[in-house]
Amino acid sequence: MCPISIGTSAYKKIKWLLAYDFVAEKGNWISRPDAVERVVNKENNTTRLLPIRFICKSKVGKINKILLAFDALILAKLFKINVSHGKLVYSSECFTLKIALSSLIPEARKLTAEITKIIASNDQPDLILNRHCAECEYNTTCRQTAIQKGDLSLLSGMTAKERSKFHKKGIFTVTQLSYTFRPRRRPKRFTK
């Protein structure tokens, strides 16, 4: 195993089978998978690369798969190869999940394009509190801003789809939403 930082090395020159602390850089993008495995198929004399990420949680989430797809995207761009699979090693038991990335790479590409757009513009991205906020360094600031604005994302039970439906109706804050509530009609038997 060797720690490696790659920016310009040619794919054919690679001799290692497992590299850790891997840094792959292409254009403005940097990917840091925990390791990269080079699998050699002696039968047809081909090699392929698999990005590997370690997760200290007992479950694998969508974000872990997307990050792996991002690693594959950068490796593929860097070496002009196809990176079709990656591995996630998770839980204290070190379970390994091999993941086909073909359907996840377009999603990672779409997200990187969106991020590029946000960085290029001077506009701040919409603030949407979500379940990752607890782990985010901006948690306190974002929550305070959301409270000041009365942002709908404060209502954790509301889905993204429901929120966008309200936005289309011009409802952006919890206060605006509260005006849409009507008291329930009392059943007729109680009105006599």
**Residues within the interface to ligand SF4 (CB under 6 A):** 127-130, 132-133, 136, 138-139, 142
Closest CA to 72 of 119, 96, 105: 105
Go through the chain and tell me how many residues it has: 192
Question: Between residues 101 and 129, which has the closer beta carbon with respect to ligand SF4?
Answer: 129
Question: Between residues 67 and 142, which has the closer beta carbon with respect to ligand SF4?
Answer: 142
Least distance (Å) from ligand SF4 to the CB of residue 105?
23
Least distance (Å) from ligand SF4 to the CB of residue 160?
13
Question: Between residues 39 and 136, which has the closer beta carbon with respect to ligand SF4?
Answer: 136
Closest CA to 174 of 182, 160, 183, 163: 163
Helix ranges, the chain (H): 62-79, 105-120, 139-149, 160-168, 174-178, 188-191
Question: Between residues 16 and 138, which has the closer beta carbon with respect to ligand SF4?
Answer: 138
CB distance 69 to 101 below 8 Å: yes
Least distance (Å) from ligand SF4 to the CB of residue 141?
7
Q: How far apart are the first and last CA of the chain?
A: 82
Least distance (Å) from ligand SF4 to the CB of residue 136?
3
